[in-house]
Structure 1
């Protein structure tokens, strides 16, 4: 556990806690004991809940010793949690069904006031609880409360990310954070020379640098606006320049290795987050490699979908594909890896193919015009991860890419069917407009 308390007042406590899971419970007990001793049991539930969340975030994202200070005065409870990470806590803009990213929303909804201060050793997150029944207006964190992180030309490296796909990055980041959290939980009991908490902290340091510096694509989720706005060149930037602290450069390699290990656990069923698309894995490798290699002096290399390759189809599909191949309409069946499994005769005619073997086994992006591919991969990833489905079950008019490179306009309806064993069958009904 942590060291002895340094506070001498009965209404205050300070404790330095090690970066271990047990420290969350220790911090919770410190706050509960303080509130009981101060005759403020009315704040027990809220105080224990919030300090657990803040200390958990420090544990996962910093991996350093955690200093907890709490005191009770005439206005209520104030708690300060300090760690060695310079990254500010940020509200994630993830779906409501996401498995991570709700900590800041919970903090804002429970406390009366909160904030964060950067200092030379890292940062301090503080919160204030008064009357739990009060519905006081919540104070937003202001940028001027947190002085900008001071760097000099010698302690950062400038990294150029060329042809940066913003939608793909946002989908990858949400998927990566879900994978990392589950990987940490699955690894805590493993006997290994690797410290899973430190690995998670290093990996999330890299993600935090990206979150702070990579812009987000402003794309509406309304189906009609989505089709108009989620196309190239509006969802990519010619270049994004990162300033990466030299000490954080190795964390990008850790991030890539941790995600690769997480995907392996997902394939074996040890964690529930689904494995992601080949394009998303290729993007992560490109992104992390660019940071590491440019820090060594190599010139920037642009991102391209063209370098993506899919794993070969090895497992038999648990469904009779002959019903698609013999269907009267234009049907295309695909799996959760975006691989085309079967195509009807009419769909072949619409797409300009003579034989099913010319297209079956290939990726769906084969028939999607290039300007829509990023949006398709990002949307497909978030559908599998959190169930986001703005276009599933709706008739939309889209261009399809024919075998000769020309485009044909089709009415498209996509349905998804869970098949068991983590498999999902996607059926696309296409009809020439």
Structure 2
């Protein structure tokens, strides 16, 4: 069996460079007749940059009043707190196991999949750690404008967990529109209900 078959978990994002070197090294070594080396047996060089990942604690997420959803590197929702589920019109347990595209509007799904695949292959993202405003798909089919910030954290098995903190952006009511509505409902003297 090749060393690739022995790997049980995908490398976390900071390990992508090491995994790439290991993979290409395995291809060259095995073509030259050498025995395979498992990913876990490859010595890691100390990084010159601090790790980007923070440990993922699902209990902290569940207790938070900030709407939060976590997805794995397979693009599946692995946790959603009550605040996030309510914002999106779901029960938290109904979101678990679904693809994250469940809450992404159809017209943005291909862009999400392309960007997510690129992130997994290169480790580079344009939105990680930065707040972005996007529409989200509510369970009833309507779009709601949200601000989200995605952080990468590391699960105990070494895999990356993508934790998104959400907040709904409420559309402001225009004063002229509000004034017209109030005029239409005002009662005149002597007018009955």
Q: State the TM bucket, normalised to the shorter chain.
A: 0.5 to 0.7
Partner of 2:118: 382
| SS of equivalent to 1:430 | strand
Structure 1 runs of 4+ aligned residues shifted over 6 Å read 177-180
Does the aligned pair in 2 maintain the 1:182–1:271 contact within 8 Å?
Answer: no
Instruction: Give the CA deviation at 1:432.
Output: 0.6
Pairing partner for 1:372 from 105, 108, 113? 108
Q: CA RMSD in A?
A: 3.1
Deviations 1:343-398 (A, max 9, x none): 11111111111x22211111111111122112212222222222211111111110
Q: How far, CA to CA, are the matches of 1:427 and 1:363 in structure 2?
A: 14
Q: How far, CA to CA, are the matches of 2:148 and 2:138 in structure 1?
A: 15
Does the aligned pair in 2 maintain the 1:331–1:427 contact within 8 Å?
Answer: yes
Partner of 2:66: 329
Does the aligned pair in 2 maintain the 1:379–1:388 contact within 8 Å?
Answer: no
| SS of equivalent to 1:365 | helix
Partner of 1:184: 27
| SS of equivalent to 2:28 | helix
Higher relative contact order (CA 8 A, sep 6+): 2
Q: How far, CA to CA, are the matches of 1:186 and 1:408 in structure 2?
A: 52
Q: How many residues align?
A: 138
Does the aligned pair in 2 maintain the 1:402–1:408 contact within 8 Å?
Answer: yes
Alignment of 1:266-285 (within 5 A): 269=39
Pairing partner for 2:84 from 343, 347, 366? 347
Q: How far, CA to CA, are the matches of 1:271 and 1:378 in structure 2?
A: 32
Does the aligned pair in 2 maintain the 1:183–1:271 contact within 8 Å?
Answer: no
Q: Does 1:356 align with 2:92?
A: yes
Q: 1:387 to 1:369 in 2, by over 3 A?
A: same
Alignment of 1:207-226 (within 5 A): none
Q: 1:378 to 1:182 in 2, by over 3 A?
A: farther
Structure 1: give runs of 5+ residues left out of the alignment.
1-97, 100-176, 192-264, 273-317
| SS of equivalent to 1:425 | strand
| SS of equivalent to 1:416 | strand
Partner of 2:147: 411
Instruction: Give the CA deviation at 1:183.
Output: 5.7
Deviations 1:99-139 (A, max 9, x none): 6xxxxxxxxxxxxxxxxxxxxxxxxxxxxxxxxxxxxxxxx
Does the aligned pair in 2 maintain the 1:417–1:424 contact within 8 Å?
Answer: yes
Partner of 2:134: 398
**Rg: which structure is higher?**
1
Alignment of 1:29-428 (within 5 A): 181=24, 184-185=27-28, 187-188=30-31, 189=33, 269=39, 320-353=57-90, 355-419=91-155, 421-428=157-164
Deviations 1:8-42 (A, max 9, x none): xxxxxxxxxxxxxxxxxxxxxxxxxxxxxxxxxxx
Does the aligned pair in 1 maintain the 2:56–2:154 contact within 8 Å?
Answer: no
Does the aligned pair in 1 maintain the 2:67–2:165 contact within 8 Å?
Answer: yes
Q: How far, CA to CA, are the matches of 2:163 and 2:128 in structure 1?
A: 10
Deviations 1:41-83 (A, max 9, x none): xxxxxxxxxxxxxxxxxxxxxxxxxxxxxxxxxxxxxxxxxxx
